Amino acid sequence: MTESFSADWLTLREPFDAAARAPGLAEALSAALPARPRLLDLGAGTGSLTRWLGPILGRGQSWTLVDADAELVYRAFATLADRADLVGWQTAWPDARTLVVKAPGGHWRIEGLLADLREAADQLPLEKVDAVVTTALCDLVTTDWVEKVAAGCAEYGLPFYAALNVSGGTRFFPAHPDDVLVRRGFARDQARDKGFGGKALGEAAPQAIAAAFARHGYKVRLAPSPWQIDRRQVAMTHELAIGHAEAAARALPGARKRIAAWAEMRSRHAELRRLSLVVPHLDLLALPA
């Protein structure tokens, strides 16, 4: 089973994702798509990419939200409908699996698809869409998975857009002597099998994706999309500190005491509003020649 994430965590990170994504790549994707694009969102979670990218597309569009977690797909539909209501956009439900958002530039048709993401290249309806998109998924997958998705996209001439790929080197402020230890353990943990049948790409994901699509003749662009989290964002700074410590302790069991002491200090820093972070990511856009 592939690694999953809670809806609460996805909700917490959504505003930081939105602030970090590189808008230039999203605009380039929009320009490469047809008048009413159909997008396949892999690992869609609670639908945050639809909420962010939909207004950039700014026209009628169709989305298929793909996830293995039925609860997340349900949450995506509910959140999309609620956000539409907040800005005064009408919604409709043509059937139990379809939401229509009546946005000013054109209607958004949104459907859900429950699928095992391990089989993404073999079972998804690539022939029925105009682009494949994803957020924060590719550091979990394997080289083989990327190669299969690149081949599938190339077969149908589909653009591929992957936002917020971890690229390594999280920086904590103020600095602590064991930051290096925690970063090393976190990077090692990222490379364990995340349910895709082999070593996860982790921070090597951007380069692996770029190389795979380049071999199929795609033009690939990368742009930085770092999370920049200031000391006032207590819930996020605390969550990231604890998450880094837990991952590092899994990977470096011999250093658990040092890592636990680091986590305790960082938790205290977060609660006192003294902790800030920069978490590097890269956005990627691959366009067929």
- Domain holding 58: CATH number? 3.40.50.150
Cα 84 to Cα 17, 27, 79, 92, 184: the distances in Å are: 19, 22, 8, 11, 42
CB 21 within 8 A of CB 13: no
Within a domain: 57? yes
The predicted pLDDT at position 122 comes to: 77
Within a domain: 142? yes
Within a domain: 186? no
Within a domain: 126? yes
**Confidence class for position 118, pLDDT limits 50, 70, 90:** confident
The 10s digit of each residue's pLDDT in 57-88 is 999 999 999 999 999 999 999 999 999 999 99
The predicted pLDDT at position 256 comes to: 97
Quick check: helix, strand or coil at residue 240?
Answer: helix
Name the pTM for this structure: 0.95
The 10s digit of each residue's pLDDT in 120-143 is 667 889 999 999 999 999 999 999
pLDDT at residue 115 above 60?
yes
User: How many structural domains comprise the chain?
Assistant: 1
Within a domain: 263? no
Within a domain: 237? no
* Inter-axis angle of helices 70-86 and 48-57, nearest 10: 40
Average model confidence (pLDDT) for the chain? 95
- Domain span at residue 117? 7-170+198-230+280-287
The 10s digit of each residue's pLDDT in 18-48 is 999 999 999 999 999 999 999 999 999 999 9
Within a domain: 1? no
**Which residues neighbour 200 within 8 Å (Cβ) at sequence distance 6 or greater?**
139, 140, 141, 142, 190, 191, 192, 193, 194
pLDDT at residue 1 above 60?
no
The predicted pLDDT at position 3 comes to: 64
Within a domain: 157? yes
Cα 258 to Cα 17, 187, 243, 252: the distances in Å are: 31, 17, 15, 10
